[in-house]
Amino acid sequence: MSGGVDSSVAAALLKEEGHDVIGITMQIWPGGKESSCCSLSAVEDARRVANKLGIPYYVLNFKKIFKKKVIDDFISEYNRGRTPNPCVKCNQHIKFDALLKKAKGLEADFLATGHYAKIEKIAGRYILKKGIDPKKDQSYFLHSLDQEALSRTIFPLGGLTKQEVRRIAKKFKLNVADKEESQEICFVEGNFGELFHPKEGDIIDLSGKVIGKHKGYQLYTIGQRKGLGLSRKNPAYVLKIDPKTNTITVGDRGDVYGDDLIAGDLNWISADRIDAPTKVKAKIRYNSPESDAEILPLSKEKIRVMFKKPQFAITPGQSVVFYDGDTVVGGGIIEQ
Protein backbone atom coordinates (compact mmCIF):
# COMPACT_ATOMS: atom_id res chain seq x y z
CA MET A 1 0.00 0.00 0.00
CA SER A 2 1.78 3.08 -1.29
CA GLY A 3 -0.78 5.56 -0.01
CA GLY A 4 -2.19 6.06 -3.51
CA VAL A 5 -5.62 5.27 -4.91
CA ASP A 6 -4.57 2.19 -6.90
CA SER A 7 -3.17 0.03 -4.10
CA SER A 8 -5.91 1.26 -1.77
CA VAL A 9 -8.64 0.10 -4.14
CA ALA A 10 -6.80 -3.20 -4.71
CA ALA A 11 -6.97 -3.82 -0.95
CA ALA A 12 -10.61 -2.78 -0.78
CA LEU A 13 -11.65 -5.10 -3.61
CA LEU A 14 -9.85 -8.08 -2.08
CA LYS A 15 -11.42 -7.40 1.31
CA GLU A 16 -14.85 -7.17 -0.33
CA GLU A 17 -14.26 -10.53 -2.03
CA GLY A 18 -13.70 -12.10 1.37
CA HIS A 19 -9.92 -12.41 1.41
CA ASP A 20 -7.95 -12.06 4.65
CA VAL A 21 -5.99 -8.92 3.75
CA ILE A 22 -2.87 -7.46 5.35
CA GLY A 23 -1.74 -3.97 4.31
CA ILE A 24 1.99 -3.34 3.92
CA THR A 25 3.89 -0.18 3.05
CA MET A 26 7.54 -0.54 2.10
CA GLN A 27 9.85 2.04 3.64
CA ILE A 28 12.47 2.29 0.93
CA TRP A 29 14.03 5.74 1.09
CA PRO A 30 15.13 7.76 4.14
CA GLY A 31 12.70 10.61 4.72
CA GLY A 32 11.03 10.51 1.33
CA LYS A 33 9.63 13.41 -0.65
CA GLU A 34 6.10 14.42 0.26
CA SER A 35 5.08 13.29 -3.25
CA SER A 36 6.81 9.94 -2.99
CA CYS A 37 5.44 6.51 -2.16
CA CYS A 38 7.22 6.28 1.20
CA SER A 39 6.85 9.78 2.62
CA LEU A 40 5.26 10.34 6.02
CA SER A 41 2.06 11.61 4.42
CA ALA A 42 1.89 8.58 2.10
CA VAL A 43 2.26 6.22 5.07
CA GLU A 44 -0.49 8.06 6.93
CA ASP A 45 -2.77 7.90 3.88
CA ALA A 46 -2.20 4.15 3.63
CA ARG A 47 -2.78 3.72 7.38
CA ARG A 48 -6.09 5.61 7.17
CA VAL A 49 -7.22 3.39 4.30
CA ALA A 50 -6.28 0.26 6.23
CA ASN A 51 -8.20 1.52 9.27
CA LYS A 52 -11.21 2.30 7.08
CA LEU A 53 -11.11 -1.23 5.64
CA GLY A 54 -10.48 -2.81 9.03
CA ILE A 55 -7.32 -4.65 8.01
CA PRO A 56 -3.96 -5.04 9.81
CA TYR A 57 -1.32 -2.60 8.59
CA TYR A 58 2.47 -2.67 8.79
CA VAL A 59 5.35 -0.49 7.60
CA LEU A 60 8.36 -2.65 6.72
CA ASN A 61 11.93 -1.45 6.26
CA PHE A 62 13.42 -2.25 2.85
CA LYS A 63 15.88 0.67 2.77
CA LYS A 64 19.07 -1.40 2.68
CA ILE A 65 18.12 -3.68 -0.20
CA PHE A 66 16.46 -0.81 -2.09
CA LYS A 67 19.67 1.21 -1.91
CA LYS A 68 21.74 -1.73 -3.15
CA LYS A 69 19.45 -3.04 -5.89
CA VAL A 70 17.80 0.15 -7.13
CA ILE A 71 19.61 3.35 -6.12
CA ASP A 72 23.19 2.08 -6.44
CA ASP A 73 22.30 0.38 -9.73
CA PHE A 74 20.67 3.62 -10.95
CA ILE A 75 23.81 5.64 -10.19
CA SER A 76 26.12 2.97 -11.65
CA GLU A 77 24.15 2.80 -14.88
CA TYR A 78 24.19 6.57 -15.39
CA ASN A 79 27.91 6.61 -14.68
CA ARG A 80 28.28 4.05 -17.49
CA GLY A 81 26.48 6.41 -19.88
CA ARG A 82 23.25 4.39 -19.79
CA THR A 83 19.68 5.37 -18.89
CA PRO A 84 18.17 2.81 -16.49
CA ASN A 85 14.53 2.29 -15.53
CA PRO A 86 14.41 2.10 -11.70
CA CYS A 87 10.77 0.97 -11.65
CA VAL A 88 11.72 -2.23 -13.50
CA LYS A 89 14.51 -2.92 -11.00
CA CYS A 90 12.25 -2.17 -8.06
CA ASN A 91 9.65 -4.64 -9.31
CA GLN A 92 12.30 -7.27 -10.03
CA HIS A 93 14.26 -7.09 -6.78
CA ILE A 94 12.07 -5.36 -4.20
CA LYS A 95 8.32 -5.86 -4.72
CA PHE A 96 8.32 -9.29 -6.36
CA ASP A 97 11.34 -10.76 -4.60
CA ALA A 98 12.14 -9.23 -1.20
CA LEU A 99 8.53 -8.27 -0.41
CA LEU A 100 7.21 -11.57 -1.76
CA LYS A 101 9.59 -13.44 0.55
CA LYS A 102 8.37 -11.31 3.46
CA ALA A 103 4.77 -12.14 2.50
CA LYS A 104 5.62 -15.84 2.67
CA GLY A 105 7.10 -15.26 6.11
CA LEU A 106 3.76 -13.75 7.17
CA GLU A 107 2.08 -16.93 5.84
CA ALA A 108 0.31 -14.97 3.10
CA ASP A 109 -0.83 -16.98 0.09
CA PHE A 110 -0.47 -14.12 -2.37
CA LEU A 111 1.06 -10.69 -2.85
CA ALA A 112 -1.36 -8.15 -4.35
CA THR A 113 -0.47 -4.75 -5.81
CA GLY A 114 -2.24 -1.93 -7.61
CA HIS A 115 -0.55 -2.54 -10.97
CA TYR A 116 -2.67 -2.35 -14.11
CA ALA A 117 -1.89 -5.78 -15.56
CA LYS A 118 -3.38 -9.29 -15.57
CA ILE A 119 -2.11 -12.79 -14.80
CA GLU A 120 -3.67 -15.91 -16.30
CA LYS A 121 -2.74 -19.56 -15.97
CA ILE A 122 -2.74 -21.30 -19.36
CA ALA A 123 -1.70 -24.94 -19.84
CA GLY A 124 0.11 -24.94 -16.51
CA ARG A 125 2.05 -21.74 -17.21
CA TYR A 126 1.47 -18.31 -15.68
CA ILE A 127 1.05 -15.65 -18.36
CA LEU A 128 1.37 -11.89 -17.90
CA LYS A 129 -1.09 -9.79 -19.90
CA LYS A 130 -1.79 -6.12 -20.43
CA GLY A 131 -4.27 -4.26 -18.27
CA ILE A 132 -7.40 -3.31 -20.20
CA ASP A 133 -6.83 0.44 -19.78
CA PRO A 134 -4.35 1.30 -22.57
CA LYS A 135 -3.43 4.56 -20.84
CA LYS A 136 -2.50 2.81 -17.60
CA ASP A 137 -1.24 -0.63 -18.67
CA GLN A 138 1.91 -1.37 -16.62
CA SER A 139 2.88 -4.76 -18.04
CA TYR A 140 6.04 -3.17 -19.48
CA PHE A 141 7.41 -2.63 -15.96
CA LEU A 142 6.64 -6.23 -14.98
CA HIS A 143 8.52 -8.11 -17.71
CA SER A 144 11.14 -9.40 -15.25
CA LEU A 145 8.66 -11.42 -13.15
CA ASP A 146 9.40 -15.15 -13.19
CA GLN A 147 6.96 -18.06 -12.87
CA GLU A 148 7.35 -18.22 -9.10
CA ALA A 149 6.50 -14.53 -8.68
CA LEU A 150 3.59 -14.69 -11.13
CA SER A 151 2.15 -17.74 -9.35
CA ARG A 152 2.03 -15.84 -6.04
CA THR A 153 0.80 -12.46 -7.33
CA ILE A 154 -2.65 -10.91 -7.82
CA PHE A 155 -3.39 -7.75 -9.80
CA PRO A 156 -6.97 -6.78 -8.84
CA LEU A 157 -7.01 -3.70 -11.13
CA GLY A 158 -6.07 -5.42 -14.40
CA GLY A 159 -9.65 -5.41 -15.67
CA LEU A 160 -10.41 -1.83 -14.62
CA THR A 161 -9.79 1.65 -16.00
CA LYS A 162 -8.36 4.45 -13.88
CA GLN A 163 -11.74 6.20 -13.92
CA GLU A 164 -13.42 3.07 -12.59
CA VAL A 165 -10.79 2.75 -9.86
CA ARG A 166 -11.47 6.30 -8.66
CA ARG A 167 -15.22 5.65 -8.67
CA ILE A 168 -14.69 2.51 -6.57
CA ALA A 169 -12.51 4.50 -4.15
CA LYS A 170 -15.35 6.99 -3.71
CA LYS A 171 -17.84 4.14 -3.21
CA PHE A 172 -15.68 2.83 -0.37
CA LYS A 173 -15.26 6.43 0.90
CA LEU A 174 -11.48 6.19 0.81
CA ASN A 175 -9.58 9.39 1.61
CA VAL A 176 -7.29 8.91 -1.41
CA ALA A 177 -10.04 8.78 -4.06
CA ASP A 178 -8.94 12.04 -5.71
CA LYS A 179 -5.25 11.89 -4.81
CA GLU A 180 -2.94 12.83 -7.68
CA GLU A 181 -0.30 10.41 -8.92
CA SER A 182 3.41 11.00 -8.49
CA GLN A 183 5.21 11.02 -11.83
CA GLU A 184 8.70 11.41 -10.45
CA ILE A 185 11.41 8.97 -9.40
CA CYS A 186 10.67 8.31 -5.72
CA PHE A 187 14.26 8.66 -4.48
CA VAL A 188 15.35 11.72 -6.49
CA GLU A 189 15.05 14.83 -4.39
CA GLY A 190 16.01 18.31 -5.54
CA ASN A 191 18.78 18.45 -8.13
CA PHE A 192 19.05 15.21 -10.12
CA GLY A 193 22.77 15.84 -10.62
CA GLU A 194 23.44 15.59 -6.88
CA LEU A 195 23.33 11.80 -7.22
CA PHE A 196 26.48 11.95 -9.35
CA HIS A 197 29.67 13.97 -9.59
CA PRO A 198 29.16 15.48 -13.05
CA LYS A 199 32.11 17.11 -14.79
CA GLU A 200 32.00 19.42 -17.77
CA GLY A 201 33.08 17.89 -21.07
CA ASP A 202 32.97 18.32 -24.82
CA ILE A 203 29.98 18.03 -27.11
CA ILE A 204 31.13 16.80 -30.52
CA ASP A 205 29.47 16.25 -33.88
CA LEU A 206 29.69 13.12 -36.01
CA SER A 207 32.99 14.27 -37.50
CA GLY A 208 34.52 14.58 -34.04
CA LYS A 209 34.57 18.38 -34.05
CA VAL A 210 34.02 20.05 -30.68
CA ILE A 211 30.93 22.26 -30.97
CA GLY A 212 30.06 22.93 -27.33
CA LYS A 213 30.31 21.93 -23.68
CA HIS A 214 28.07 19.67 -21.59
CA LYS A 215 27.49 19.90 -17.84
CA GLY A 216 28.17 16.23 -17.11
CA TYR A 217 27.36 13.27 -19.34
CA GLN A 218 25.14 11.68 -16.64
CA LEU A 219 22.66 14.52 -17.12
CA TYR A 220 21.85 13.53 -20.72
CA THR A 221 20.16 10.66 -22.51
CA ILE A 222 19.98 9.35 -26.06
CA GLY A 223 17.57 11.38 -28.18
CA GLN A 224 17.65 14.43 -25.90
CA ARG A 225 17.21 17.75 -27.70
CA LYS A 226 16.61 20.34 -24.99
CA GLY A 227 19.28 21.72 -22.69
CA LEU A 228 22.25 21.29 -25.02
CA GLY A 229 22.93 25.00 -25.36
CA LEU A 230 24.07 24.76 -28.97
CA SER A 231 23.69 27.29 -31.76
CA ARG A 232 23.09 25.18 -34.84
CA LYS A 233 21.19 25.37 -38.11
CA ASN A 234 19.23 22.21 -37.32
CA PRO A 235 18.20 21.10 -33.81
CA ALA A 236 20.83 18.83 -32.24
CA TYR A 237 20.01 15.48 -30.67
CA VAL A 238 22.16 13.32 -28.39
CA LEU A 239 23.39 10.28 -30.34
CA LYS A 240 26.08 8.80 -28.08
CA ILE A 241 27.36 9.18 -24.53
CA ASP A 242 30.98 8.16 -23.91
CA PRO A 243 32.01 8.13 -20.22
CA LYS A 244 35.62 7.19 -21.07
CA THR A 245 36.22 10.36 -23.06
CA ASN A 246 33.58 12.41 -21.19
CA THR A 247 32.05 13.40 -24.53
CA ILE A 248 28.56 13.57 -25.94
CA THR A 249 28.04 13.13 -29.67
CA VAL A 250 25.15 14.97 -31.30
CA GLY A 251 23.59 14.96 -34.75
CA ASP A 252 20.38 15.61 -36.64
CA ARG A 253 17.08 13.97 -35.74
CA GLY A 254 17.41 11.44 -38.54
CA ASP A 255 20.70 10.23 -37.03
CA VAL A 256 18.93 9.13 -33.83
CA TYR A 257 16.98 6.33 -35.54
CA GLY A 258 18.18 2.73 -35.43
CA ASP A 259 16.76 -0.51 -36.78
CA ASP A 260 18.24 -3.06 -34.36
CA LEU A 261 19.52 -3.58 -30.83
CA ILE A 262 21.29 -6.11 -28.62
CA ALA A 263 19.61 -7.02 -25.32
CA GLY A 264 20.63 -9.09 -22.29
CA ASP A 265 19.34 -9.80 -18.76
CA LEU A 266 16.51 -11.68 -20.44
CA ASN A 267 13.33 -13.06 -18.89
CA TRP A 268 10.83 -15.11 -20.87
CA ILE A 269 7.26 -15.42 -19.63
CA SER A 270 5.06 -17.04 -22.29
CA ALA A 271 7.69 -19.76 -22.92
CA ASP A 272 10.75 -21.17 -21.16
CA ARG A 273 13.03 -19.64 -23.78
CA ILE A 274 13.18 -18.24 -27.30
CA ASP A 275 15.67 -20.29 -29.30
CA ALA A 276 14.51 -19.56 -32.87
CA PRO A 277 13.74 -16.36 -34.82
CA THR A 278 10.42 -15.06 -33.49
CA LYS A 279 8.21 -12.24 -34.74
CA VAL A 280 6.79 -10.00 -32.03
CA LYS A 281 5.63 -6.49 -31.24
CA ALA A 282 8.30 -4.66 -29.25
CA LYS A 283 8.46 -1.55 -27.06
CA ILE A 284 11.82 0.11 -26.40
CA ARG A 285 10.48 2.31 -23.59
CA TYR A 286 7.27 2.59 -21.61
CA ASN A 287 5.79 5.47 -23.61
CA SER A 288 6.88 4.26 -27.04
CA PRO A 289 4.39 2.55 -29.37
CA GLU A 290 4.69 -1.15 -30.13
CA SER A 291 6.57 -1.89 -33.33
CA ASP A 292 6.91 -4.97 -35.53
CA ALA A 293 10.17 -6.74 -34.76
CA GLU A 294 11.94 -10.08 -34.93
CA ILE A 295 13.90 -11.66 -32.09
CA LEU A 296 17.12 -13.36 -33.22
CA PRO A 297 18.74 -15.46 -30.46
CA LEU A 298 22.52 -14.97 -30.24
CA SER A 299 23.05 -17.12 -27.10
CA LYS A 300 21.18 -18.03 -23.93
CA GLU A 301 22.00 -14.60 -22.55
CA LYS A 302 21.81 -12.33 -25.60
CA ILE A 303 19.40 -11.55 -28.43
CA ARG A 304 19.37 -9.24 -31.41
CA VAL A 305 16.10 -7.45 -32.15
CA MET A 306 15.50 -6.32 -35.73
CA PHE A 307 12.76 -3.73 -36.31
CA LYS A 308 10.62 -3.49 -39.42
CA LYS A 309 10.75 0.31 -39.13
CA PRO A 310 13.62 2.32 -37.58
CA GLN A 311 13.07 3.29 -33.93
CA PHE A 312 13.78 6.69 -32.40
CA ALA A 313 16.44 6.80 -29.68
CA ILE A 314 17.16 3.16 -28.84
CA THR A 315 18.68 3.68 -25.40
CA PRO A 316 21.08 1.36 -23.52
CA GLY A 317 19.82 0.68 -20.01
CA GLN A 318 16.15 0.85 -20.94
CA SER A 319 13.98 -2.26 -21.18
CA VAL A 320 12.80 -3.76 -24.44
CA VAL A 321 9.57 -5.71 -23.92
CA PHE A 322 7.94 -8.10 -26.37
CA TYR A 323 4.24 -8.71 -26.94
CA ASP A 324 2.04 -11.16 -28.80
CA GLY A 325 -1.31 -9.38 -28.79
CA ASP A 326 -2.01 -8.59 -25.14
CA THR A 327 0.39 -11.25 -23.87
CA VAL A 328 3.88 -10.38 -22.62
CA VAL A 329 6.36 -12.72 -24.32
CA GLY A 330 9.22 -11.43 -22.18
CA GLY A 331 11.84 -8.73 -22.16
CA GLY A 332 15.37 -7.67 -21.39
CA ILE A 333 17.72 -4.72 -20.94
CA ILE A 334 19.04 -2.92 -24.02
CA GLU A 335 22.84 -3.16 -24.15
CA GLN A 336 23.58 -1.51 -27.49
Question: Which residue ranges make up each domain of the chain?
Answer: 5-171, 198-251, 256-334
37 tagged catalytic: no
> What CA–CA distance (Å, rounded) separates 227 from 220?
9
Domain 256-334 sits in CATH at 2.40.30.10
> What CA–CA distance (Å, rounded) separates 73 from 324?
30
Q: How confident is the model at residue 160 (pLDDT cuts 50, 70, 90)?
A: very high
Q: Concatenated DSSP letters for 266-283?
A: EEESSSS---S-EEEEEE
The structure's pTM equals 0.93
38 tagged catalytic: no
Q: Which of 37, 38, 87, 186 is catalytic?
A: 186
Q: How confident is the model at residue 179 (pLDDT cuts 50, 70, 90)?
A: confident
H helix or E strand, kind and range, residue 150: helix 147-151
For the segment 83-124, what is each residue's pLDDT rounded down to a tens digit? 999 999 999 999 999 999 999 888 999 999 999 999 999 999
Domain 5-171 is found in CATH 3.30.499.10: no
Q: Is the pLDDT of residue 183 over 70?
A: no
pLDDT at 14: 98
Cβ atoms of 113 and 10 within 8 Å: the answer is yes
* Superfamily of the domain at 198-251: Adenine nucleotide alpha hydrolases-like domains (2.30.30.280)
For the segment 292-324, what is each residue's pLDDT rounded down to a tens digit? 999 999 998 999 999 999 999 999 999 999 999
For the segment 22-62, what is each residue's pLDDT rounded down to a tens digit? 999 998 876 544 445 566 788 999 999 999 999 999 999 99
pLDDT at 40: 76
